[in-house]
Each structure stands twice: as structure tokens, then as C-alpha cells.
Structure 1
Amino acid sequence: MNNQQQKWLYLTLLSLVWGSSFILMKKALLGVTPIQLGALRMIFTSIFLLLVAFPSLKKIKKKHYKYIVFTSIAGTFVPGFLFAFAITTIDSSIVSILNSLTPFNTLIFGAIVFGFGFKRTQLYGILIGLIGTLILILKGAALNPDQNYWYAFLIIIASIGYAFNANMVKKYLNDLNALSIVTGNFLLLIVPAFIVLSFTDFFKNFDFNNKILMQSLGYLAILSIVGTGIAKTIYNKLVHISDPVFSSSVTYLIPLVAIFWGVLDGEKLSPLQIFAGVIILFGVYLVNKKK
């Protein structure tokens, strides 16, 4: 399988996995708090990766660790908590659409901070995407007055973190394999995640007989192992064989999968919100257009 075929295969797999992660977070939050969800997700993923991929750490050189630290914070630690809080107040399908801002931010910060190229068509795509985002947020706030759409800005901040992560991986960690990067990320995160978790009442209230809690931990295990550990490895591999903007365009397909699960779970979208989502995805298309 050549690189062209591989990158489309990885893009499809990531869209299915990450598109399902929003509903998994929503279900997990029935038994844990947002802080606990973020911390446990990192702990579960760290344990899994250190068990199956510990030897990959040998490939990380001293020059890499500075960027491993940056990518672990920007691409995992901060977004993990931001998404958990956002999904407590906004429908998971809306969160997935807002996550489509990642390619825009990847392009903007790639050009401004990392010196990657920037085309006029891509600028138009950014502006169109921002219009779609504004419509989505304003209509969502009107349609769901019980939901706090100020939390939408948490997803925007998270998407900026993902943008820095993608650009750093491409520019500074391109000589390091994807599994080593992800395992290095979570090696650094396991202790901070335990510290954060210890400041909650998780250990005090833990009970094997609590069915809701155990179900939440089951959702978290799937989310952590498949949706974070395996998926992030695939994502970093995708960045290596393509480019940051193409890789972040996985957000084309993520909302389609997330909306499917959201509708099955009783979430509702207005026609205007769906139209806003289409506007955002059209903007993403322009951002990724080569000519």
C-alpha cells in the first residue's frame, strides 16, 4: 500500500474512531465529573501505551523531549479537560462540528508561527468557516436556552491546541515515529493526571457495586485505548506521510459520525445548524484545496 492509499485509510479510520468519541464522553460523564473524565482518560491511555509500547521510548532522543512536552500539553492534556467540560453543557454533535475549526487553526498558526505556506483560497476558507461557526453557536444558543453556549469557546481553544500539536509534530518530530511520540506524550502525562484525579473525590467514592460508575469506566476504557492511544498513533503517522492540514481535515468526517450517534441518542439539530455545519465543512475544503 503506497502513501496515498495509506493516508486515506488512516483518515477514514480516524474519522470513525474520533467521531464516536463524543458520544462515549457524553455517556462516561453520567458516572464521573469532567475533571475525572479528563484525568482518567489520560491514565488509562498511559497504562495501555506503557504496557504495549514501552520499548518505543528508546527511540526518543534528548532533542525531542522539549517538543514531546509541548505536544503532550497542547495536543492532549489541555484539550482533554476542555472537551469534557464542554460536553456537559453542549450536545456532543455540536461539539464535533465546532471541532472542525482545527484545520483553520492549523493553517493560521502553521503560517504565523511555524512558517508553513498560506494561499488566498485558504484565507477565504477560514473566513467562511468562521461565519459558519458564528451561525452554529448563535442558533444553538437560541434553540437550546438550557445549554450554555459560552462553553463553545472551550472547543475553539482546544482546536488551537490541536493545531499547535500537528504543526510541532510535522516540523520538529518528523524524524521520530508516531508510536514513540504518543507513548512519550503519555509517559509525561500519567503523573500530572494522577495528581489532578487525587484532588477529586474519585478514590473516596469509588465502589465496584456502583453500576453507573462501572459503565462510565467501561466507556472511558474504550475511549482511552482506541480513541486516544491507538488513534493518536495513527494520527501522528498520518502527519508524517502527508501534512498537518491534510491530517487535521479528518474533521471533515468526524461530525458525520458524531451526528449519527447524537441523533440516535436523542439530540436534535435545526436545519440552520446543519447548514452552518455544511458552511464550516466547505471552509475546511477550501483550506485543504491545493490550487
Structure 2
Amino acid sequence: MRSTLYLLFLSLLWGSSFLWTKQLLNYFQPTTIVFLRCLFGMIALLPFLLFSKVKLDLKVQPKFLLVVALAAAIPWNFMGFALQGIDSGLSGILNATTPLFAVLFSIVLLKIKPLRNQIFSLLIGFIAVVILMFFSGQAIGSQFSIAHALLMFGVTSCYALNSIFVNKYYTTVPPLHLSFWTLAIAIMINGPISLLMEPKAMLTVGTPSVFLSLLVLGSLSSGLGYVIFYVINSASGPIFAVMVTFIVPFVSILLGVIFLNEPLHIGIAIGLPLIVTSLFLMNFHSIKFRKVVESAPGKFDDDFS
């Protein structure tokens, strides 16, 4: 029950990130938003780092910094620019294609042979994206630019590559430390650029609407969000934790409709269920395996102990 509540709370935080980013675009350029978001996230993360039993390793290789840059520093800039031309609800749906890109890159880069359900998942996901793109461009009251929508695939590609490289090379790095370096490298990259582009940006941070947006987007979503995700992953396993991917698009659409007056159109009605179906197929073999293990817990003890 506790893990379910954590999952719903995390879905609300991550699903609302598109709304808060959209709101902050009224005040800042995307690079400044990334810098402030990560700065607020780092402040929230510091207490966990201070009380962590595992000492933070400050000697890291450039390759590692590039990998963690793919988690925030680069994709969150793409997201900011993308949201200048598309609805937040659509961006939330397109963001859910990350697992599809992870499988695609695994096939291309790692030469992993895909399962049948993953092939069907990629096909359905592709059809869903085409439908979403087409109807979003036709819908009355919808903010849509094909170039900005394509930027979201830059976001999901970065997330997918980060996931692949972390799982391949950095599984021994504690999740809390991955979170620290993800935020730290984003601050180091985007901070100087932000100060050059918008030197007076910090003077706006105290504005109530700006501070609230950064508090949720930075401290809660980007800082505590990682911690909550790893708590869920530890308590209930990765298959349960990945369910957040299914819920986030619904949250982003709902918030966009309520707070930004974004339209609900037929593309969303058709495309979103297809995306959810695609994600389910993507994880079908893992869900099926989990059910087998739970029904006969002693059967796999020797293999996985």
C-alpha cells in the first residue's frame, strides 16, 4: 500500500514537470530553467547525501559525466525548447516513448535480439506517435509545431541512452550518487550559460509563482523524485517502479487541460491508449516472469540467490 502511494505521488510530480516548465518559460529561457531546477533539486538532495553511509566519490571520468549529462543537462534543455511549441499534455505522452527508444538503441548499439512482444511494441508505438502528430496539428486550440515535437524525441533518446549506459557500465554506483552527479553536471553546464544569457534571472526567483514552480519542479520532482523512485524500486522491484511511465502521460494531460486550457482531441483519445498498450507489451515478459516467481517463490531461489 505504501509503495502504491509513493508511486502515485511520484507520478503526480513527474507528470506535472511539463506544466511547471511551461509556466517557467514565461520568465526564463530553457537553459536557465534547467540550471534553477537542478539547483533546487540539489538543495533537496543534500540532506540525503550527508546522512548516506556510502561516501561520495568525487573522482569521476569524463565518460561518466557524459552519461549523467544524458539524464538531465541535455534532455531538459530539449524539453524546455520543445514546450515552446507544443502542448504540455502532448509532451508528456511523447516522453513516455523512452522505453521504446531504449529497446531500439539496445538492438542497434548492443546487438541484442528483440523479443516478439518488443517488436510489436515498437510498431504500435510508432503508429501511436504518427496519429498523435497528425491530429495535434489539426486540432483547434492546440499548440503544435512538428519541429518542437521532434525535440521531444531528443529528450527520450537521451533518457534511453542514459539508461543503457548506466545499466552497462555503472550498476555499482549508488542511485543517490547517480542523482547527485546528474544534478551537479547539469548545474555546471547550464549555470555559466544561464548567467551569460540572463544575468538578472536570480532576481526573479523570489516571485511567488516562480518560487512555487521551482520548488515543485526542482526540489520535489528533480531532487526528492529520484529518491522516491529508488525507494519504490527497492521495496517493490523495478517492474512495479516502471509503472510510473504508464501514469505520467495521464497526469500531464489532465493538468494541461485544467490549468493551461489545452484541448482534448481525437489524437489523444487514440494515441494515448496505443502508447499504454505499447508500454505494456514492452514489459509483458517481465510482468509474466514476476507472476511466475511470486506463485512459486522457492523455485528460482538457487538461480537468483
TM-score range, shorter chain: 0.7 to 0.9
Provide Cα deviations, 1:186-220, integer angstroms capped at 9, x if missing partner: 23332222202112224278357xx8x54123201
Kept in 2, the 8 Å contact 1:79–1:161? The answer is yes
Q: Which amino acid aligns with 1:101?
A: T
The answer to whether structure 1 residue 225 and structure 2 residue 225 are counterparts is: no
The normalised TM-score by structure 1 is 0.84
Whether the 8 Å CA contact 1:46–1:189 is kept in 2: the answer is no
Residue 207 to residue 284, structure 1, CA distance change in 2 (3 Å): closer
Number of residue equivalences: 282
Match of 1:85, SS state, is helix
Q: What is residue 26 of structure 1 aligned with on the other side?
A: 22
- Summarize the Cα distance change of 1:89–1:200 in structure 2 as closer, same or farther, 3 Å threshold: same
Say which of 266, 269, 281 aligns to 1:271. Answer: 266
Query: Counterpart of 1:75 in 2: which secondary structure?
Result: coil
CA deviation after TM superposition for structure 1 residue 173, in Å: 2.5
Q: 1:167 to 1:221 in 2, by over 3 A?
A: same
Shift of 1:54: 4.5
Could you tell me which residue of structure 1 aligns to residue 134 of structure 2? 138
Q: Percent identity?
A: 26
TM-score (norm 2): 0.80
Change (3 A) 1:215 1:277: same
2:124 equivalent in structure 1: 128
Q: Post-superposition shift, 1:61?
A: 7.5
Structure 1 residues 9, 70: CA separation in 2 closer, same or farther (over 3 Å shift)? farther
Following the alignment from structure 2 to structure 1, what is the Cα–Cα distance between the partners of residues 138 and 217? Answer: 31
Amino acid at match of 1:183: F
**Which structure: larger Rg?**
2
**Structure 1 unpaired stretches of 5+:** none
- Between the aligned partners of 1:283 and 1:246, the Cα distance in structure 2 is 17
User: 37, 40, 44: which one pairs with 2:36?
Assistant: 40
The one of 159, 162, 168 equivalent to 1:171 is: 168
RMSD of equivalent CA atoms: 2.9
1:194 corresponds, among 191, 196, 207, to 191
Does the CA contact (< 8 Å) of 1:114 and 1:167 recur in 2?
Answer: no
Question: Pairwise mapping of residues 230-245 of structure 1 onto structure 2 (< 5 A)?
Answer: 230-236=224-230, 242=237
Q: Which of these residues, 72, 76, 79, is aligned with residue 80 of structure 1? A: 76
